[in-house]
Structure 1
Amino acid sequence: MHYDAFWVAVAFFIFLGVLVYFKVPGVIAKQLDARADRIKNELEEAQRLREEAQAMFADYQRRQRDALATAEEIVAKAKEDAEIIRKESEAELAAALTRRQELAEAKIRQAEEKALSEVQNVAVEISIAAAEKLMKDNLKAKEAGALIDQSIKDLGSQLN
């Protein structure tokens, strides 16, 4: 039994010698170091990407706040502009209504003057017809004067 253990120990030391002879521990150490460097680089890259993402997120939030502020300014300006336009429209409407009222009043005055002129013309025509009729009927001057006076009195009531 000791004999088998001896050969196992000899085989083990030979195996270790072969490993050292072919520099396996150095190769393993280099691979482990390379892997550790890769992991370290990946962690640094991840940290850098995380910081970039945080910076981009902060920039996005700032831009969003700026956009909201700009939108609020635009809305406020639009409300001010709408109020100004409303006031201008009201002023223009009031001016237009005033002009139309003045035009209507002028037309009414013209119509009144025309009606008064027509009534006067009708009264003159009636007076002329009455005078003509009197002349034809050869009324006396006294009666003719009374008829003319009566026509003039009736003319005043016809004009009002």
Structure 2
Amino acid sequence: MFFAESEFWVAVGFVILMGVFAYVGVHRTVLKALDSRAARIKAELDDARRLKEDAARVLADYKARRARAESEAADIITSARADAERIAAEAKAKMEDFVARRTRSAESKIALAEAQAVADVRSAAADAAIAAASSILSQTVKDKVADQLVTKGIAEVRQKLN
């Protein structure tokens, strides 16, 4: 009865199959395959860990490079601002110097023109005074004495007024 049941024969067949597998060494082949698969997975995990560490190093390197580049950019901007301020100050100083020179030049031209105008006025006044004196003396003083006085006076007036 116990032998008539199918579960019993399935169990017997299973035990015989396992015995044949043990005799042939299937368990060693399966364990070897599992061990090789475990070794391959371990190698892949080690490679993945190494790649992760490499990626972390590369990321840290790029972060450091970015920080240096940002620092250099900030230095360049600061330097450019300083240069721009210096150039602006130089341009302002040059412009002020140019304006001062032009002002001095204009003032000297004005002074020269003023001096020329004063000289022209004196000359015109001297000519008028000479003409008036000449006219008055020619009417009041006669002959040679008059001519000498007029000539001498005109020479003196010209000398003193010019």
- Quote the Cα distance in structure 2 between the aligned partners of 1:28 and 1:129: 147
Q: Counterpart of 1:89? A: 91
Task: Give the gaps of 5 or more residues in structure 2.
Answer: 143-148
More displaced, 66-75 or 102-111?
66-75
- Quote the Cα distance in structure 1 between the aligned partners of 2:141 and 2:29: 159
Q: How many Å apart are 1:61 and its aligned residue?
A: 2.1
Q: Counterpart of 2:39? A: 37
- Quote the Cα distance in structure 2 between the aligned partners of 1:131 and 1:59: 105
Amino acid at match of 1:123: A
Aligned residues: 145
Q: Counterpart of 1:4? A: 4
- Quote the Cα distance in structure 2 between the aligned partners of 1:8 and 1:62: 69
Q: How many Å apart are 1:28 and its aligned residue?
A: 1.7
- Quote the Cα distance in structure 2 between the aligned partners of 1:4 and 1:132: 178
Tell me, what secondary structure is at the counterpart of 2:112?
Answer: helix
Could you list the structure 1 runs, at least 4 aligned residues long, displaced by more than 4 angstroms after superposition: 131-135
- Quote the Cα distance in structure 2 between the aligned partners of 1:69 and 1:117: 71
Q: How many Å apart are 1:9 and its aligned residue?
A: 4.0
Picking from 15, 39, 43, the partner of 2:17 is 15
Equivalent runs, 1:47-86 vs 2, <5 Å? 47-86=49-88
1:37-60 Cα shifts (integer Å, max 9, x gaps): 121012111111111122122212
Amino acid at match of 2:61: D
- Give aligned-pair identity as a percent: 40
Tell me, what secondary structure is at the counterpart of 1:2?
Answer: coil
Tell me, what secondary structure is at the counterpart of 1:3?
Answer: coil
Task: Give the gaps of 5 or more residues in structure 1.
Answer: none
Q: How many Å apart are 1:128 and its aligned residue?
A: 5.0
Picking from 110, 116, 119, the partner of 1:117 is 119
* Higher relative contact order (CA closer than 8 Å, sequence separation 6+): 1
Q: How many Å apart are 1:107 and its aligned residue?
A: 0.6
